[in-house]
């Protein structure tokens, strides 16, 4: 499968890891929009929020359980925002479910929609 994030999980494309366990991988966004910009992805390939099902949703709960620790590990101390873009109109460019963690400063207005 030709998925950039699946290749990152496999180590075929380098990334700056923040956290990893058996079900998820967290790494620095290549094009940060804030001092802390981390992407958290399930290791299982799920295209987007639209493809979350009763069968694969457990990993989403696990990701949200871990996000506070991942944000802290990445350097967030004073709050953060979590965003998931779903589909072309929302600007999703990589079709492997991912959650952006943004923080490290008072976020600019366009990131506080």
Position among 15, 74, 99, 103 found at the interface with ligand DGP (CB under 6 A): 15
> Is the dihedral angle over the CA atoms 50, 54, 56, 61 positive or is it negative?
positive
| Residue 87 binds ligand DGP, judged by CB under 6 A | no
Q: How far is the CB of 30 from ligand DGP (least distance, A)?
A: 3
Residue from the set 54, 93, 110, 113 that interacts with ligand DGP by CB under 6 A: 93
Separation CA 99–CA 85 (nearest Å): 8
What's the closest the beta carbon of residue 18 comes to ligand DGP, in angstroms? 11
Reported for 89-93, long-range contacts at CB under 8 A and 24+ positions apart, including other chains, are 92/48
Query: How many residues are recorded in the chain?
Result: 113
Instruction: Name the residues that contact ligand DGP, by CB under 6 A.
Output: 4, 13, 15, 27-31, 39, 85, 91-94
């Amino acid at each position: 499968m030709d998925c950039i994030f699946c290749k990152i999980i496999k180590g075929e494309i380098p990334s700056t890891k923040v956290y990893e366990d058996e079900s998820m991988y967290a790494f620095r966004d290549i094009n940060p929009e804030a001092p802390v910009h981390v992407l958290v992805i399930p290791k299982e390939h799920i295209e987007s929020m639209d493809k979350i099902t009763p069968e694969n949703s457990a990993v989403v709960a696990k990701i949200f359980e871990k996000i506070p620790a991942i944000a802290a590990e990445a350097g967030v101390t004073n709050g953060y925002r979590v965003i998931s873009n779903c589909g072309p109109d929302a600007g999703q460019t990589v079709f492997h479910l991912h959650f952006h963690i943004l923080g490290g400063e008072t976020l600019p207005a366009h990131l506080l929609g």
